[in-house]
Amino acid sequence: MLFNKVEICGVNTASLPILSENRKQELLHIIQNGSAEEKHRAREEMIKGNLRLVLSVIQRFAGRGENPDDLFQVGCIGLIKAIDNFNCDKEVRFSTYGVPMIIGEVRRYLRDNNTVRVSRSLRDIAYRTMQFKDAYLAEHDREPTIEEIAAALSLPKENIVVALEAIVEPVSLYEPVYTDGTDTIYVMDQIGDRNDDKNWIDRIVLKETIRSLSDGWKKVC
């Protein structure tokens, strides 16, 4: 099924608006700094202008027997979380930040509906971990390390790792998760080195900065 040619949740996907990157940044600044009325209007426009982003993400979950309407609604929840938590001080495109948030929300939904039985204790640890990671990311602009998660939840690191692995499906590191026509985000782009506590957003900022340099400076870098 081609999601971009159907009606999902009453939305005609063929007529969805497209926002320029400059307009997205304008709206995000209004959402964070405008009046209550301005924030409301900007938030509505930002949501509608990024529904295509949700569609592009949920297509990678096709073929699992899930209702496209349900996936779309869940993806929209991830989109709204990304809009509300985006940090305008970071020189990062909104899609770069939004895609992992949407994917995370859809994966949580799929885990809840997973027919594979996972023990209640493992699921409880995994959900507590995901909640902590979301809260930590929103506050610190980076994902917490396993050590930080274990300390916050007062659990051994091994328990955290086992619980997360029990609810995550295997996926190729080279699987694309999003492309806007000029750049593609792969799974491996979102995975950090366990010995590197730096935010994955910072690495993408560097990548985009290098891309904006002239050919001569690119050779120097």
Of 70-84, 122-136, 172-186, give the lowest mean pLDDT range: 172-186
pLDDT of residue 196 exceeding 50: no
The answer to whether 137 touches 165, Cβ cutoff 8 Å, is no
Rg (CA), the chain: 18
Report pLDDT digits (tens) over 10-39. Answer: 666 677 788 888 999 999 999 999 899 999
Q: Which two tokens stand for residue 111?
A: 């885990």
* List of residues 6+ apart from 72 with CB closer than 8 A: 3, 8, 9, 11, 54, 55, 58
161-165-167-173 Cα dihedral, nearest 10 degrees:
130
- CA dist 201 and 84 (Å) reads 17
Q: C-alpha 135: how far from its chain's center?
A: 14
Q: Which two tokens stand for residue 35?
A: 């009046």
pLDDT of residue 143 exceeding 50: yes
67 band by pLDDT with thresholds 50, 70 and 90: confident
What is the H or E stretch that residue 53 is in?
helix 51-58
- pLDDT at residue 122, rounded to an integer: 75
pLDDT of residue 41 exceeding 80: yes
Task: Calculate what percentage of the chain has a pLDDT beyond 70.
Answer: 64
pLDDT of residue 163 exceeding 70: yes
- CA dist 163 and 88 (Å) reads 33
Across the range 127-140, mean pLDDT stands at 85
- pLDDT at residue 4, rounded to an integer: 43
Q: Which two tokens stand for residue 88?
A: 């305008």
